[in-house]
Amino acid sequence: MADVTYYCPRCETLATVERDAYLADKSVTPYPLEGWSYDPPSALPHADADGVRFVCGESDGVDWSEDGCGEPFYLNFVRHDEGREIDSEPASEYVELNVRPSEPRGPQGPGGPTP
Ligand SMILES: [Zn+2]
């Protein structure tokens, strides 16, 4: 867990929340993204939603640097799997060359020097 800070996109009041570090941030927006679900900051650090809806200066579970503007803003996490195209890497076909190890050069063939 870590303290993470966000700026209100409207008034730049600093919001500090504690949350799981594994969640990756996509963006902070003054409006919700369509089709996304949002939890209040008090649901952190284990929010199930796609993001968090802050009310600037008012939301619980947040350290506000100032009183804020009282307007909502939205933190959007990077969503995994659902509704997201995963770039599939084509399996690279490579021809395995059938390289034989060069035959070891032994001593000259059979038959030693004969008198
Ligand atoms: Zn604000």
In a domain, 91, yes or no: no
The pLDDT, as a whole number, for residue 2 is: 80
Q: What distance in angstroms lies between residue 105's CA and the mean position of ligand 1's atoms?
A: 81
Name the nearest CA neighbour of 52 among 69, 39, 34, 68: 39
pLDDT of 85: 45
pLDDT of residue 19: 77
Q: How far is the CA of 7 from the centre of ligand 1 (A)?
A: 8
- In this prediction, residue 96 carries a pLDDT of 56
Any domain includes 106:
no
In a domain, 6, yes or no: yes
- The answer to the question of residue 82 being in a domain is no
- DSSP classification of residue 45: T
Taking the C-alpha atoms of residue 97 and residue 76, their distance in angstroms, rounded to an integer, is 49
| pLDDT for the residue 107 | 64
Contact at 8 Å (CB) between 36 and 51? yes
Cα of 71 to ligand 1 centre, how many Å?
6
CA of 62 to the centre of ligand 1 (A): 13
Residue 86 has a pLDDT of 42
Whether 112 is covered by a domain: the verdict is no
CA of 11 to the centre of ligand 1 (A): 4
- The count of structural domains within the chain is 1
Q: Is 41 inside any structural domain?
A: yes
Give the contacts of 13 (CB within 8 A, at least 6 positions apart): 7, 56, 57, 64, 65, 66, 67, 68, 69
Q: Ligand 1 mean position to 22 CA, how many Å?
A: 26
| Averaged pLDDT in 10-residue chunks for the chain of 115 residues | 89 90 83 93 82 96 96 88 49 56 64 64
Instruction: Note down the domain range covering 42.
Output: 2-77
